[in-house]
Chain A
């Protein structure tokens, strides 16, 4: 066995660095503590634009190099000869100091194309339901800033975030190249924003389009956390794939959030007809882990598997990016020996504690149409507690909904008395289209659409909303195609059953006829002649038919509870 290299902390031009001695090409990455959670929502995508522009002058590179923007960290990485790596970071720092902002409009188009081709992943909606339209929830939203960011926005963003104090370098190679320079401006370390919450209580669930059941939960970071995630994956795989054949995929993930917490995500897929089984199997398995725990054998199996990763000769190199994130977010760095010791010391009780936390904070995404009322989770809020006071504008689809425009916000109310409300003071972003339509998105992720096509709005009403929110929250969206403009729902003719209509006509008619019959019969004398007699007889027959029919309809309505 070769010599095991250990991670060394050093500093290059004031940038904290992590180095591991390794043979082969030099591998290195420069990270900044900035990501999607930091951006103002109307400028979402700023960091992504910076990342693209910063690499633009590099052109086509002959060695591996790329960059990514995550929730909390932006990462530029490369692999090549020492000379290539030095040149890569030199150009990068130069570009950050002087962004090629003349490329901005072209780069926006490229980014819109990238966004159109990228899926948000199976867990893409969970953050907005958990955190709302702010902080950690922003990763669920589109990059609205692509429609609004200016060169000045970008320069300001770079100056605030792409600084020496807000970065960490990691490098694996024979040595730290002596000529490696990182000329970054001075700044401050940006802390991870505190988490917001859009949930009233957990465990909770919500409905969304999807082919499977996906859940995330937040637990304190610990050595037992990843083990619990692995145990959950084993349990889900056993229950839903091996035993019942409901799912093909059953997988979990454990990711530190950047503060002292970590997010555990779990996903199982299923065909449409098996999604009820997937949901129930998922919840049963998860609940059982939280309530009854796992066996010692299960724990040891997972532990043994986790310990083998430490034996990998490149382990120390492979963990460099994760260690860099920890350093950047102010988390403690552990040596491999410490990590192994922490892993060995995890007890069944530790795993139980994580399982309990995980269950208590779970948020579950359920495919539409799968009943979830019986799983024992609370429905996540989809309505607001209050309605604004102001002018009401009724819905064009006559479904009893109405838009309310008030001085301090907008609401949509429905027949059932429910409402969605965005107060202007709590508005995260307002999207506006050239055709006059707009959508207000509140910080709690509740949104209200103000559309002339949906409500009977007049110009004055729309004009009153012009200055509703500060201009910094407005995003002017590109023109919509006619099919992108929302249209009122077409309601079918007479949704009421024919029997109900029949009853409501026949009952009063019969009553009138009966009243006529009684009064005529009272007034009848033998002198009235044969015609009057026949008329009375006819009335009697009609009343008889009416009473029978109304009686039958009424009895069946009472008996079966439906028409």
Chain B
């Protein structure tokens, strides 16, 4: 077992957990430097040399979260009309900006003005990404972003399913497309818990051992718990399933820390914590160090609190 894998703790201000994807995956640092320096050839080279085992969706997400990067991406390499990479990254950035404009609240608490700009930005992203996937049907980052636009623009389950199938053709076992599709299959977006869970299980069952895809199971259960309360997570059957998902992914001997591993560990640790498997959660958190992803942890202090509780309980 490689569970205590030597992943160094990252230095951060006051020891607060970091959301920064460059902290999670230090090999993304040259990409950020290239974008800050507006060095387009270096950006292109980065994606050209991205190892096959890393889903480019993660690198695109890092770019999407960079404030103001859209100004450069609109002109980089001739802009989205000339460069599919610029189109992909700008599309991902616009999707991010659209969800920022919408706010995290549920639909009934979102204002009409917020919705209008959400739809406007998503519409621009969708048009751009549609051109990209026509030119590069194998572009997984673009297909994952298009799954998000389809959800935001409420295109329905049939269209989301179609896009997911296209994502699978673009990259087998596409983790981020799967996690996005789990969200799509929630009742709040027009799906059902049964569909969501069976989809997540299919993702886990068909994935190669040691891959991250079983994360979908944890996230599906977390969505379930969001609706039915933490009591749901504490059922033995659910806990078993989450432990099984850990064992076939981040807990598997074949596991390698490819891009996305921090997301997987965050989802597993949160699920195990809610399910009151303290040692299990502590083991995941130990690997995670002070890395945190926006989903499913609510905020850094919640993570700090849990870490402190686990230490206090002698779990870690």
Tell me, yes or no, whether A283 is within 8 Å of chain B by CB: yes
Tell me, yes or no, whether B112 is within 8 Å of chain A by CB: yes
Alpha-carbon distance A246/B161, docked complex (angstroms): 10
Cross-chain contact A287 with B137 (CB below 8 angstroms): no
Cross-chain contact A276 with B159 (CB below 8 angstroms): yes
- B99-139: CB near A (< 8 Å → 1, else 0) gives 00000000001111110000000010011001101111100
- Option from A273, A287, A292 in Cβ contact (under 8 Å) with B156: A273
Cross-chain contact B158 with A273 (CB below 8 angstroms): yes
Cross-chain contact A292 with B137 (CB below 8 angstroms): yes
The 5 closest A-B pairs by CB, nearest first: A287-B134, A277-B158, A561-B111, A561-B112, A244-B162
Known contacts A244-B161, A373-B123, A560-B112; can you find 4 more A-B pairs with CB under 8 A?
A277-B159, A280-B163, A291-B134, A561-B112
Alpha-carbon distance A280/B111, docked complex (angstroms): 28
- B135-160: CB near A (< 8 Å → 1, else 0) gives 11100000000000110010110110
Interface of B, helix, strand, loop or mixed by DSSP = helix
Tell me, yes or no, whether A374 is within 8 Å of chain B by CB: yes
Tell me, yes or no, whether B38 is within 8 Å of chain A by CB: no
Determine the chain A residues whose CB is within 8 A of the CB of B123 once the complex forms. 373-374
Alpha-carbon distance A291/B138, docked complex (angstroms): 13
Tell me, yes or no, whether B254 is within 8 Å of chain A by CB: no
Determine the chain A residues whose CB is within 8 A of the CB of B27 once the complex forms. none
Q: How many residues of B contact A (CB 8 A)?
A: 28
Alpha-carbon distance A290/B113, docked complex (angstroms): 37
Query: Which A527-563 residues have a C-beta within 8 angstroms of B?
Result: 559-562
- B63-102: CB near A (< 8 Å → 1, else 0) gives 0000000000000000000000000000000000000000
- Option from A239, A277, A561, A562 in Cβ contact (under 8 Å) with B161: A277
Cross-chain contact A246 with B158 (CB below 8 angstroms): yes
Give the size range of A's interface with the partner: 20 to 34
Cross-chain contact B126 with A374 (CB below 8 angstroms): yes
For A359, the closest partner residue in chain B by CB is: B134
Tell me, yes or no, whether B205 is within 8 Å of chain A by CB: no
Alpha-carbon distance A229/B183, docked complex (angstroms): 38
Determine the chain B residues whose CB is within 8 A of the CB of A152 once the complex forms. none
Cross-chain contact A276 with B137 (CB below 8 angstroms): no
- A212-256: CB near B (< 8 Å → 1, else 0) gives 000000000000000000000000000100011010000000000
Q: How far is the CB of A207 from the nearest CB of chain B, in Å?
A: 17
Cross-chain contact A283 with B112 (CB below 8 angstroms): no
- Option from B114, B158, B166 in Cβ contact (under 8 Å) with A274: B158
For B149, the closest partner residue in chain A by CB is: A374
Cross-chain contact A374 with B156 (CB below 8 angstroms): no
For B130, the closest partner residue in chain A by CB is: A376
Alpha-carbon distance A94/B176, docked complex (angstroms): 75
Cross-chain contact B165 with A291 (CB below 8 angstroms): no
Q: How far is the CB of B140 from the nearest CB of chain A, in Å?
A: 15
Cross-chain contact A244 with B165 (CB below 8 angstroms): yes
